[in-house]
A and B are shown apart, each in its own frame.
Chain A
Amino acid sequence: MSDLMTNQDPEQGQQTPLSEKIEENRDALKRYSVEEIIPMMENPKYTPEELEKSKRIFKSATPKYTLDWYVKWVASIFVLCAMSIRGVEGLQMFDLALSAVGISLWLWVSILWHDKALILLNGVGLMFLLRNLVSTVVGL
Protein backbone atom coordinates (compact mmCIF):
# COMPACT_ATOMS: atom_id res chain seq x y z
CA MET A 1 0.00 0.00 0.00
CA SER A 2 1.50 3.31 -1.04
CA ASP A 3 1.33 6.21 1.35
CA LEU A 4 0.78 9.45 -0.45
CA MET A 5 1.11 11.38 2.77
CA THR A 6 4.72 10.35 3.20
CA ASN A 7 7.60 11.99 1.41
CA GLN A 8 8.73 8.75 -0.20
CA ASP A 9 7.59 8.07 -3.74
CA PRO A 10 7.31 4.23 -3.90
CA GLU A 11 7.65 4.00 -7.68
CA GLN A 12 10.59 6.31 -8.19
CA GLY A 13 12.16 5.70 -4.81
CA GLN A 14 12.97 9.36 -4.34
CA GLN A 15 11.84 12.13 -2.02
CA THR A 16 8.78 14.11 -3.10
CA PRO A 17 8.08 17.38 -1.30
CA LEU A 18 5.14 17.07 1.09
CA SER A 19 3.70 20.32 -0.26
CA GLU A 20 3.41 18.72 -3.71
CA LYS A 21 1.64 15.72 -2.25
CA ILE A 22 -0.78 18.01 -0.43
CA GLU A 23 -1.36 19.95 -3.66
CA GLU A 24 -2.04 16.72 -5.59
CA ASN A 25 -4.56 15.57 -2.99
CA ARG A 26 -6.14 18.96 -2.38
CA ASP A 27 -9.68 17.81 -3.35
CA ALA A 28 -9.51 14.73 -1.14
CA LEU A 29 -8.11 16.75 1.77
CA LYS A 30 -11.03 19.22 1.64
CA ARG A 31 -13.20 16.61 3.34
CA TYR A 32 -11.10 16.65 6.47
CA SER A 33 -10.45 19.19 9.19
CA VAL A 34 -6.96 20.19 10.33
CA GLU A 35 -7.42 18.04 13.45
CA GLU A 36 -7.96 15.01 11.21
CA ILE A 37 -5.24 15.81 8.68
CA ILE A 38 -2.41 16.29 11.23
CA PRO A 39 -2.66 12.71 12.66
CA MET A 40 -2.93 11.40 9.08
CA MET A 41 0.33 13.12 8.21
CA GLU A 42 2.09 12.10 11.40
CA ASN A 43 0.95 8.50 11.31
CA PRO A 44 -0.22 7.74 7.78
CA LYS A 45 -2.40 4.67 7.55
CA TYR A 46 -4.61 5.54 4.61
CA THR A 47 -4.08 8.24 2.04
CA PRO A 48 -6.78 10.91 1.51
CA GLU A 49 -7.31 9.42 -1.95
CA GLU A 50 -7.81 5.95 -0.49
CA LEU A 51 -10.17 7.34 2.12
CA GLU A 52 -12.12 9.17 -0.59
CA LYS A 53 -12.50 6.16 -2.89
CA SER A 54 -12.65 3.27 -0.44
CA LYS A 55 -16.00 1.72 0.43
CA ARG A 56 -14.43 -0.42 3.19
CA ILE A 57 -12.86 2.30 5.31
CA PHE A 58 -15.48 3.74 7.66
CA LYS A 59 -15.56 7.52 7.37
CA SER A 60 -18.15 9.74 8.95
CA ALA A 61 -19.20 13.23 7.90
CA THR A 62 -19.78 14.05 11.56
CA PRO A 63 -16.99 14.17 14.18
CA LYS A 64 -16.00 11.05 16.16
CA TYR A 65 -14.83 10.75 19.78
CA THR A 66 -15.44 14.44 20.41
CA LEU A 67 -17.79 15.94 23.02
CA ASP A 68 -20.69 16.09 20.55
CA TRP A 69 -20.14 12.42 19.62
CA TYR A 70 -20.62 11.32 23.25
CA VAL A 71 -23.57 13.71 23.75
CA LYS A 72 -25.16 12.41 20.53
CA TRP A 73 -25.03 8.79 21.69
CA VAL A 74 -26.27 9.59 25.20
CA ALA A 75 -29.14 11.56 23.60
CA SER A 76 -29.97 8.64 21.30
CA ILE A 77 -30.04 6.25 24.29
CA PHE A 78 -32.42 8.59 26.15
CA VAL A 79 -34.73 8.83 23.11
CA LEU A 80 -34.70 5.06 22.58
CA CYS A 81 -35.43 4.42 26.28
CA ALA A 82 -38.36 6.85 26.05
CA MET A 83 -39.67 5.04 22.97
CA SER A 84 -39.34 1.64 24.63
CA ILE A 85 -41.70 2.67 27.46
CA ARG A 86 -44.13 4.53 25.16
CA GLY A 87 -47.66 3.26 25.47
CA VAL A 88 -47.08 1.65 28.89
CA GLU A 89 -49.84 2.69 31.29
CA GLY A 90 -48.70 5.03 34.06
CA LEU A 91 -45.28 5.73 32.56
CA GLN A 92 -46.27 8.64 30.31
CA MET A 93 -44.43 11.08 32.55
CA PHE A 94 -41.19 9.09 32.31
CA ASP A 95 -41.65 8.85 28.54
CA LEU A 96 -42.05 12.62 28.21
CA ALA A 97 -39.20 13.39 30.62
CA LEU A 98 -36.75 11.00 28.92
CA SER A 99 -37.77 12.28 25.48
CA ALA A 100 -37.32 15.91 26.60
CA VAL A 101 -33.83 15.16 27.97
CA GLY A 102 -32.87 13.24 24.80
CA ILE A 103 -34.14 15.93 22.45
CA SER A 104 -32.47 18.68 24.53
CA LEU A 105 -29.16 16.84 24.19
CA TRP A 106 -29.74 16.45 20.43
CA LEU A 107 -30.44 20.19 20.28
CA TRP A 108 -27.08 20.79 21.98
CA VAL A 109 -25.38 18.53 19.39
CA SER A 110 -27.15 20.42 16.57
CA ILE A 111 -25.86 23.73 17.95
CA LEU A 112 -22.33 22.29 18.20
CA TRP A 113 -22.61 21.14 14.56
CA HIS A 114 -24.06 24.54 13.47
CA ASP A 115 -26.72 22.56 11.59
CA LYS A 116 -29.81 24.77 11.15
CA ALA A 117 -32.10 21.94 9.98
CA LEU A 118 -31.34 19.84 13.07
CA ILE A 119 -31.63 22.91 15.35
CA LEU A 120 -35.11 23.67 13.93
CA LEU A 121 -36.23 20.04 14.10
CA ASN A 122 -35.07 19.47 17.66
CA GLY A 123 -36.20 22.93 18.77
CA VAL A 124 -39.76 22.35 17.53
CA GLY A 125 -39.73 18.81 18.94
CA LEU A 126 -38.58 20.06 22.34
CA MET A 127 -41.30 22.74 22.40
CA PHE A 128 -44.00 20.12 21.76
CA LEU A 129 -42.54 17.79 24.39
CA LEU A 130 -42.34 20.55 27.00
CA ARG A 131 -45.91 21.62 26.24
CA ASN A 132 -47.11 18.00 26.68
CA LEU A 133 -45.00 17.60 29.83
CA VAL A 134 -46.43 20.77 31.38
CA SER A 135 -50.02 19.83 30.45
CA THR A 136 -49.47 16.34 31.92
CA VAL A 137 -48.04 17.77 35.16
CA VAL A 138 -50.82 20.37 35.47
CA GLY A 139 -53.45 17.77 34.61
CA LEU A 140 -52.30 15.48 37.45
Chain B
Amino acid sequence: MSTDMNDPYIPSKISTMAKELRLEKKRLQQDLIELQHDYDEVKPTTPTGTPDWYVKWVSMLLAVGGVFLMSANITFYGQIAYVLSSCGWVYVGMQWSDRAIMIGSAISGTAVLMNMVQNSGVGL
Protein backbone atom coordinates (compact mmCIF):
# COMPACT_ATOMS: atom_id res chain seq x y z
CA MET B 1 0.00 0.00 0.00
CA SER B 2 1.52 3.34 -1.10
CA THR B 3 0.63 6.86 0.12
CA ASP B 4 1.20 10.30 -1.45
CA MET B 5 3.90 11.03 1.12
CA ASN B 6 5.95 8.10 -0.03
CA ASP B 7 5.66 8.83 -3.74
CA PRO B 8 8.53 11.16 -4.73
CA TYR B 9 6.78 12.23 -7.97
CA ILE B 10 3.62 13.61 -6.29
CA PRO B 11 4.27 17.05 -4.77
CA SER B 12 3.42 17.30 -1.13
CA LYS B 13 1.18 20.04 0.27
CA ILE B 14 4.20 21.78 1.79
CA SER B 15 6.16 21.94 -1.45
CA THR B 16 3.08 23.25 -3.30
CA MET B 17 2.65 25.95 -0.65
CA ALA B 18 6.34 26.80 -0.80
CA LYS B 19 6.10 27.20 -4.56
CA GLU B 20 3.04 29.44 -4.21
CA LEU B 21 4.80 31.51 -1.55
CA ARG B 22 7.85 31.92 -3.79
CA LEU B 23 5.61 33.11 -6.62
CA GLU B 24 3.77 35.48 -4.27
CA LYS B 25 7.07 36.85 -2.96
CA LYS B 26 8.28 37.42 -6.52
CA ARG B 27 5.02 39.17 -7.41
CA LEU B 28 5.21 41.40 -4.30
CA GLN B 29 8.83 42.29 -5.05
CA GLN B 30 7.82 43.26 -8.58
CA ASP B 31 4.95 45.38 -7.18
CA LEU B 32 7.39 47.07 -4.78
CA ILE B 33 9.79 47.88 -7.63
CA GLU B 34 6.92 49.34 -9.67
CA LEU B 35 5.69 51.38 -6.69
CA GLN B 36 9.22 52.68 -6.04
CA HIS B 37 9.50 53.63 -9.72
CA ASP B 38 6.12 55.45 -9.59
CA TYR B 39 7.18 57.28 -6.42
CA ASP B 40 10.56 58.26 -7.92
CA GLU B 41 8.71 59.81 -10.86
CA VAL B 42 6.65 62.18 -8.68
CA LYS B 43 8.92 62.84 -5.70
CA PRO B 44 10.54 66.30 -5.60
CA THR B 45 14.22 66.54 -6.52
CA THR B 46 14.68 69.24 -3.90
CA PRO B 47 14.65 68.47 -0.14
CA THR B 48 11.34 68.42 1.75
CA GLY B 49 10.64 68.91 5.47
CA THR B 50 14.02 70.56 6.10
CA PRO B 51 14.48 74.19 7.36
CA ASP B 52 15.21 75.35 3.81
CA TRP B 53 11.86 73.85 2.73
CA TYR B 54 10.03 76.19 5.15
CA VAL B 55 12.19 79.17 4.09
CA LYS B 56 11.47 78.33 0.44
CA TRP B 57 7.68 78.42 0.96
CA VAL B 58 7.79 81.65 3.02
CA SER B 59 10.04 83.23 0.37
CA MET B 60 7.68 82.11 -2.39
CA LEU B 61 4.70 83.70 -0.58
CA LEU B 62 6.69 86.92 0.02
CA ALA B 63 7.77 87.08 -3.63
CA VAL B 64 4.25 86.53 -4.98
CA GLY B 65 2.85 89.00 -2.42
CA GLY B 66 5.55 91.50 -3.33
CA VAL B 67 4.79 91.26 -7.05
CA PHE B 68 1.04 91.65 -6.37
CA LEU B 69 1.63 94.69 -4.14
CA MET B 70 3.96 96.32 -6.68
CA SER B 71 1.43 95.82 -9.45
CA ALA B 72 -1.25 97.30 -7.18
CA ASN B 73 0.94 100.44 -6.84
CA ILE B 74 1.73 99.66 -3.18
CA THR B 75 5.33 99.82 -4.30
CA PHE B 76 7.20 100.34 -1.02
CA TYR B 77 5.72 97.34 0.83
CA GLY B 78 5.92 95.27 -2.32
CA GLN B 79 9.61 96.01 -2.66
CA ILE B 80 10.25 95.20 1.00
CA ALA B 81 8.46 91.85 0.59
CA TYR B 82 10.44 91.13 -2.58
CA VAL B 83 13.80 91.96 -0.95
CA LEU B 84 12.97 89.73 2.05
CA SER B 85 11.97 86.98 -0.34
CA SER B 86 15.25 87.36 -2.23
CA CYS B 87 17.18 86.97 1.04
CA GLY B 88 15.21 83.81 1.73
CA TRP B 89 15.92 82.43 -1.74
CA VAL B 90 19.64 83.19 -1.34
CA TYR B 91 19.57 81.15 1.89
CA VAL B 92 17.74 78.32 0.07
CA GLY B 93 20.29 78.46 -2.75
CA MET B 94 23.10 78.23 -0.20
CA GLN B 95 21.49 75.24 1.50
CA TRP B 96 21.01 73.49 -1.86
CA SER B 97 24.48 74.61 -3.05
CA ASP B 98 22.72 75.88 -6.16
CA ARG B 99 24.66 78.80 -7.63
CA ALA B 100 22.01 79.67 -10.23
CA ILE B 101 19.37 80.29 -7.53
CA MET B 102 21.87 82.22 -5.38
CA ILE B 103 23.02 84.48 -8.24
CA GLY B 104 19.52 85.11 -9.63
CA SER B 105 18.01 85.93 -6.24
CA ALA B 106 20.94 88.05 -5.06
CA ILE B 107 21.02 90.17 -8.22
CA SER B 108 17.24 90.67 -8.46
CA GLY B 109 17.05 91.45 -4.73
CA THR B 110 19.89 93.97 -5.02
CA ALA B 111 18.22 95.62 -8.03
CA VAL B 112 14.93 96.03 -6.17
CA LEU B 113 16.76 97.29 -3.07
CA MET B 114 18.65 99.88 -5.16
CA ASN B 115 15.40 101.00 -6.75
CA MET B 116 13.80 101.26 -3.31
CA VAL B 117 16.68 103.37 -1.99
CA GLN B 118 16.56 105.64 -5.08
CA ASN B 119 12.80 106.13 -4.75
CA SER B 120 13.03 106.86 -1.04
CA GLY B 121 15.44 109.70 -1.84
CA VAL B 122 18.26 108.46 0.40
CA GLY B 123 21.62 109.86 -0.75
CA LEU B 124 20.07 112.30 -3.20
Chain A residues proximal to chain B, CB less than 8 Å: 58-63, 68, 72-73, 75-76, 79-80, 83, 86, 112-118, 120-121, 124-125, 128
CA distance A112 to B98 in the complex (A): 16
Partner pick for A60 among B98, B107, B111, CB 8 A cutoff = B98
In the assembled complex, how far is the CB of residue B74 from the closest CB belonging to chain A, in whole angstroms? Answer: 15
Whether B46 and A61, one on each chain, are in contact in the complex, defined by CB atoms closer than 8 angstroms, is yes
Chain A, interface SS category: helix
CA distance A92 to B76 in the complex (A): 22
Which residue from chain B places its CB closest to the CB of A61 in the assembled complex?
A: B96
Q: What residues of chain B lie closer than 8 Å to A59, measured between beta carbons?
A: 97
Partner pick for B111 among A62, A72, A83, A112, CB 8 A cutoff = A83
Convert B72-110 into 0s and 1s, putting 1 for each residue whose CB lies closer than 8 angstroms to a CB of A.
000000000000000000000001111010011001100
Q: What residues of chain A lie closer than 8 Å to B67, measured between beta carbons?
A: 124-125, 128
Whether B45 and A83, one on each chain, are in contact in the complex, defined by CB atoms closer than 8 angstroms, is no
Query: B11 within 8 Å of A by Cβ?
Result: no
Chain B residues proximal to chain A, CB less than 8 Å: 42-47, 56-57, 59-60, 63-64, 67, 71, 95-98, 100, 103-104, 107-108, 111
Partner pick for A72 among B42, B59, B71, B100, CB 8 A cutoff = B100
CA distance A72 to B100 in the complex (A): 7
Whether A86 and B43, one on each chain, are in contact in the complex, defined by CB atoms closer than 8 angstroms, is no
Whether A114 and B43, one on each chain, are in contact in the complex, defined by CB atoms closer than 8 angstroms, is yes
In the assembled complex, how far is the CB of residue A35 from the closest CB belonging to chain B, in whole angstroms? Answer: 11
Candidate in A59, A61, A114, A124 with the most chain B CB atoms within 10 angstroms: A61
Whether A60 and B108, one on each chain, are in contact in the complex, defined by CB atoms closer than 8 angstroms, is no
Q: What residues of chain B lie closer than 8 Å to A113, measured between beta carbons?
A: 44-46
Which residue from chain B places its CB closest to the CB of A68 in the assembled complex?
A: B45
Which residue from chain B places its CB closest to the CB of A59 in the assembled complex?
A: B97
Known A-B contacts A73-B100, A76-B104; A61 and B60 likewise in contact (beta carbons under 8 Å): no
In the assembled complex, how far is the CB of residue A11 from the closest CB belonging to chain B, in whole angstroms? Answer: 32
Candidate in B45, B47, B96 with the most chain A CB atoms within 10 angstroms: B45
A sample of 6 inter-chain contacts (CB < 8 A) reads: A61-B47, A61-B97, A62-B46, A115-B46, A117-B57, A121-B63
Q: What residues of chain A lie closer than 8 Å to B45, measured between beta carbons?
A: 61-63, 68, 112-115
Q: What residues of chain A lie closer than 8 Å to B95, measured between beta carbons?
A: 61
Partner pick for B97 among A58, A76, A121, CB 8 A cutoff = A58
Whether B100 and A120, one on each chain, are in contact in the complex, defined by CB atoms closer than 8 angstroms, is no
New A-B contacts (15) at CB < 8 Å, excluding given A61-B47, A80-B107, A115-B45: A58-B97, A59-B97, A61-B46, A62-B45, A62-B46, A68-B45, A79-B108, A80-B104, A83-B107, A113-B44, A113-B45, A114-B43, A115-B46, A121-B63, A121-B64
